[in-house]
């Protein structure tokens, strides 16, 4: 006999009678999730909030299933308590506040209209006004939360922007003839035609297709990360697979190309080229005691290849091309090519590759080399070599394992194996004829028991060498006994650093993966701002000679290097946020420099950074630098092997960003590493995940900091999000600063080239790219018209790929542009 509906039941529609138990059951499941997860978190010493939230949600679900209006009362008390707890834990920081409240306030808004129905079913007055009033209040809160998702949250500069004035003369108005614009790596174009007021009028001037579409599903294959060169009316490009192309800089019309086919498939890229003009007078150093620049070697054909382009190939060669026609310079090396694997011993690609542009230093062209990380204890050495720009004859070598010997090894011998290497771009100071280079580490980053005293000396340092002789002038170490892959990842930038007494000192500044900025005297290598030796905890790996202190540059802002705590854990919803908090509590984390061990150790920032190879840009007029960073944590788990491993990885750098167990060849361990992500594939710590920061060198403080990039083109489980939410995403390239008061940037996860006001950080223009970019913008002027150029081959972690080089300029009819 079926149960007859009660009088209360008759007051509620059949749909509601069926739907409420279903909703209540979902609420009960949600409550059980928080109850169980909260219990796990408490067991790991975490917050009690989630367990209490689980109890409240379970009670709400049960009462909803019973069709009791008290369900909403319980939920409303829980929601108010959640809001108070959220403000107590994170203050009014938007993104952390949003993830704690928004999901529950949406649920509350949807539940409130059910209250009159439930009360009517209980024989009570419906209280429609109160219920809808609460719903309306929550709706207003939710609209505010949604609005806030599409507004940049950061620190902005003063709205009153100073006038654009050049106090540095014609600085930055020459050709873009080196990787970082100047040999000093400033990435500053002093042209003022494009400025804050007219940048909105920029349009595509021309588009060029290289014909080389990079494919890299995991970030370890082929990627376009180039910055072109511009000399006179010609733009010089290099594609990921090492095709050099010359195009007309004003029209994008191809002049010539020269391809260098290889069979390499791992870590394929060309970040830039180098240029030398033998027809120009040599610049000799002006600093007292400097070694002169060698005269141009005219032993070959003095009329051949007077203007040269140099490129490192991915399979370990240095090539020299005639800049006028693209033909190999026959009098350089072996008919235009030098085999850089000579003297290295076993050094097949991709274990030894070249991923940064060569550096022309006077009449010496200098190369380092990438030695794949965490493959084996027996790897090629990280020797740096200088070759004559005309003949290709080796002038010197700097072997970190034998720093006093500058000659090539005798027959049957090799340069010292497995030494620290220089894979990032170098910087040249013509005033002292000095090369400044960022060094990496010995072959295995995560296990340092077998490192030599010289490995320890030169690892993760800035190394200054005489460009003519290769003799060391000084070195400065940024990490002691590096076990984190914290090699110095970028080109140092030469600056005139303002001291407290008003004087300016010739200096260099470099950023690190740890979010540190070191300012060093160019002549001595001594820090010009305060650096302290910070005590750090050690691990338990047998015989590991841990360093008990690490350098911290506390005299300059530290970017994205704060010590994480529970409150910093984040998620799109409280559901994945709870998972991140549980994961965080399940790892060992001692702040920056948490030593890897056989447990699960969290490194933040991880080995991707922090800052990376894109480098800094420097505005000498404003005395400002501009830094982009990414904030990605990485957990590391060393696994003791039953016997010493002889297996190795293939040298793919994708292993540093998510992988299974990888053997550390020749060591007692293998390693598992992965990004510190939520189950949704989102970083577990609060946003931003990438930012652009302006630093005033005079005050040594942050002038502004804004999130960089949106989730518009981000894919979760293959589905594009399409939301232009400026949360700030990881970045990989570098910035361009101009005399027009602008900072251009493109290497975000979404497909845009952006311009920011260099004084305030306000985004003043953006252009949609056909695919994402990993390149650094550059700028030049031809016939009175300023161009902004970007190479776009596809963003990291994106399936959309292309072969675009795009130039932007103001319309020809714009005031101040020369017409033809």
- As annotated, the active-site residues are 485
Bridge partner list, 532? 552
Residue 688: asked if its preceding bond is cis (omega within 30°), the reply is: yes
Residue 629: asked if its preceding bond is cis (omega within 30°), the reply is: no
What is the residue-wise DSSP string for 757-809?
A: ETTT--EEEEEE-SS---S--EEEEETTEEEEEEEES--TT-S----EEEEEE
Quote the CA–CA distance of 549 and 553 in Å, as a whole number: 13
- Which strands make up the sheet holding 359-361, listed edge to edge? 359-361, 364-367, 384-388, 394-398
Quote the CA–CA distance of 529 and 510 in Å, as a whole number: 13
Residues 6+ apart with CB under 8 A from 370: 267, 352, 353, 354, 355, 356, 421, 423
Buried b (16+ CB within 10 A) or exposed e, 71-82: bbebbbebbeeb
Three-class SS of 31-52: HHHHHHHHHHHHHCCCCCHHHH
Neighbours of 698 (CB within 10 A): 13
Quote the CA–CA distance of 135 and 111 in Å, as a whole number: 8
The secondary element (H helix, E strand) that includes residue 70 is helix 70-90
Write out the E strands in 315-460.
317-322, 337-339, 352-353, 359-361, 364-367, 370-371, 384-388, 394-398, 427-429, 434-438
Is there a contact between 773 and 736 (Cβ–Cβ < 8 Å)? Answer: no
Write out the E strands in 649-689.
662-663, 669-675
């Amino acid at each position: 006999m079926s149960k007859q509906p009660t009088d209360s039941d008759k007051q509620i529609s059949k749909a509601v009678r069926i739907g409420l138990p279903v909703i209540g059951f979902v609420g009960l499941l949600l409550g059980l999730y928080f109850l169980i997860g909260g219990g796990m978190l408490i067991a790991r010493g975490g917050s009690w909030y989630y367990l209490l939230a689980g109890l409240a949600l379970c009670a709400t679900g049960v009462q909803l299933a019973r069709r009791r209006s008290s369900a909403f009362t319980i939920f409303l008390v829980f929601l108010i308590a959640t809001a108070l707890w959220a403000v107590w834990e994170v203050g009014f920081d938007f993104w952390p506040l949003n993830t704690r409240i928004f999901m529950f306030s949406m649920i509350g808004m949807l539940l409130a209209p059910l209250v009159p129905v439930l009360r009517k079913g209980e024989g009570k007055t419906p209280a429609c006004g109160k219920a809808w009033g609460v719903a309306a209040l929550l709706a207003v809160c939710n609209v505010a939360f949604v609005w806030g998702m599409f507004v940049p949250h950061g620190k902005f500069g003063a709205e009153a922007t100073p006038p654009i004035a050049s106090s540095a003369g014609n600085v930055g108005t020459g050709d873009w003839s080196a990787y970082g614009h100047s040999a000093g790596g400033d990435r500053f174009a002093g042209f003022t035609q494009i400025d804050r007021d007219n940048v909105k009028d920029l349009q595509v001037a021309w588009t060029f297709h290289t014909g080389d579409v990079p494919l890299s599903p995991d970030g370890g294959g082929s990627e376009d990360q180039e910055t072109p060169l511009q000399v006179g009316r010609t733009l010089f490009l290099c594609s990921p697979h090492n095709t050099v192309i010359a195009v007309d800089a004003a029209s994008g019309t191809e002049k010539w190309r020269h391809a260098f086919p290889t069979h390499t498939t791992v870590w394929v890229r060309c970040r830039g080229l180098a240029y030398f003009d033998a027809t120009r007078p040599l610049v000799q150093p002006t600093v007292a005691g400097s070694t002169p620049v060698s005269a141009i070697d005219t032993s070959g054909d003095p009329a051949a290849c007077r203007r040269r382009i140099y490129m490192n190939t991915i399979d370990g060669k240095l090539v020299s091309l005639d800049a006028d026609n693209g033909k190999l310079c026959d009098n350089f090396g072996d008919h235009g090519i030098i085999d850089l694997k000579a003297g290295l011993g076993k050094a097949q690609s991709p274990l030894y590759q070249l991923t940064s542009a060569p550096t022309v230093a006077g009449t010496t062209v200098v190369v380092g080399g990438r030695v794949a990380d965490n493959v084996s204890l027996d790897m090629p050495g990280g020797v740096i070599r200088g070759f004559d720009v005309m003949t290709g004859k080796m002038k010197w070598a700097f072997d970190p394992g034998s720093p006093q010997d500058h000659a090539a090894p005798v027959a049957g011998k090799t340069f010292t194996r497995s030494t620290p290497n220089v894979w990032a771009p170098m910087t040249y100071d013509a005033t002292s004829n000095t090369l400044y280079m960022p060094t990496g580490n010995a072959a295995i980053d995560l296990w340092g028991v077998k490192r030599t005293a010289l490995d320890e000396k030169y690892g993760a340092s800035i190394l200054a060498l005489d460009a003519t002789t290769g003799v060391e002038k000084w070195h400065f170490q940024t990490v002691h006994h590096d076990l984190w892959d914290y090699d110095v990842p970028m080109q140092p930038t030469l600056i005139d650093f303002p001291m407290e007494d008003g004087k300016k000192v010739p200096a260099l500044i470099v950023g690190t993966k740890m979010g540190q900025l070191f300012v060093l005297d160019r002549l001595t290598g001594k820090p010009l701002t305060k650096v302290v030796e910070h005590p750090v905890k050690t691990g338990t790996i047998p015989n590991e000679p841990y360093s008990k202190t690490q350098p911290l540059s506390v005299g300059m802002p530290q970017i994205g290097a704060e010590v994480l705590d529970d409150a910093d854990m984040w998620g799109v919803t409280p559901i994945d946020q709870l998972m991140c908090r549980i994961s965080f509590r399940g790892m060992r984390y001692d702040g920056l420099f948490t030593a890897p061990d056989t447990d699960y150790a969290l490194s933040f920032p991880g080995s991707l950074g922090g800052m990376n190879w894109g480098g800094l840009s420097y505005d000498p007029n404003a005395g400002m630098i501009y830094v982009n960073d990414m904030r990605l944590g990485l957990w590391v788990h060393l696994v003791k092997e039953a016997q010493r491993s002889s297996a190795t990885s293939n040298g793919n750098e994708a292993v540093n960003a998510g992988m299974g167990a990888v053997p550390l060849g020749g060591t007692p361990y293998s390693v598992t590493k992965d990004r510190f992500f939520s189950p949704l594939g989102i970083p577990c710590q609060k946003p931003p995940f990438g930012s652009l920061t302006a630093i005033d060198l005079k005050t040594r403080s942050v002038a502004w900091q804004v999130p960089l990039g949106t989730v518009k083109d981000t894919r979760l489980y293959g589905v594009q999000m399409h939301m232009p939410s400026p949360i700030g995403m990881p970045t990989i390239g570098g910035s361009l600063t101009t005399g027009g008061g602008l900072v251009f940037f493109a290497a975000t996860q979404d497909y845009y080239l952006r311009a920011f006001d260099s004084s305030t950080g306000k985004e003043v223009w953006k252009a949609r790219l056909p695919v994402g970019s990993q390149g650094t913008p550059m700028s030049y002027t031809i016939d009175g018209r300023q161009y902004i150029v970007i190479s776009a081959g596809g963003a990291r972690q994106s399936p959309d790929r292309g072969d675009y080089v795009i130039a932007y300029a103001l319309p020809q009819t714009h005031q101040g542009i020369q017409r033809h």
